[in-house]
Chains A and B, each alone.
Chain A
């Protein structure tokens, strides 16, 4: 089971955090700081996996963003890399060639997409088509019910 996923920039700014186990905020911050420092210090050709406490960390860099997951001893590292990749693909399809700014300004969307892909730390739906369809259905619901969206921009 995945215990948490963190997205952070090359400058060490946290962009998204998803916790599948309950930790106090203080501990979360400590873990985040520790992992960001550790991973940013690693060189490009190094292995994408590392041991950390009793967990395995799997990370990968996409442009300016690092995606980092903590999984348990039983979990499969290579496939976790592909969970990350699938998530990136989903973001990319949804935003249309995604960049860090998209995730900053639409962080809530990034969460909604992640919730369709993973639930409770386990993979929920691996089909790209189905996930995108679910997100599109959500967007459709919003557009139907919020005609004022347009007016707000004008205001």
Chain B
């Protein structure tokens, strides 16, 4: 709705919606913990490179290799003398980027397919759902490995591969919700005022499946980060970018386990777990908060 009369009101509306959302969200402990974790890592991704000297993640031939944590190198060094702390900070950016970007791709595909299949039904539904089933039943890891190998190891490709392989579950969920929403009387009212199918999908179905989309995106982001770690760990990652998965990959390859270099293995591992946990907590909390039935009881 573009216009001056409208936009002023829209801003007020947004504020109102956000406030009422926050009022409910903040009562959810799990959600708050997740939000704190994620805020920490987001800040680390953006401000980390200013607080920590990331230029120490280089092979200079001077720094001692495989050194346990000491002052100045708070998390020790790896087999080439690179600063682990600097690596973790740089890795945050890659992991979050992959999570957000891949989840966005996945949700877009899943939402479009789910809503179109659910709304139009019949042949469209059958075709789209069989297509979805194909993605649902193909073993995920071999598919991703094959695609990653085929496309070559770059960050963009990894995001693409994860996004394109993880939308099937979402499409199913969105479709089932669409099936329920499209039978509501307000959709019939929309028909009775002459709305087209596209209009009904955008104005009536989409806003009412949005809670599911939010909650799902967050959960898919967690899975995407985990996937990136898996791919990198298996050596399919972008060798020019350092991510947590890449660090684990090198650590494993270079015998960090045998030489008991815990300072090399633990930090990236814990970071992955924490970020995934943060996303999952928020996802579950959103699921609870945005569920209109739970919300109505709150009022």
Query: Bound pair: A and B?
Result: no
State the B residues within 8 Å of A (CB).
none
State the A residues within 8 Å of B (CB).
none
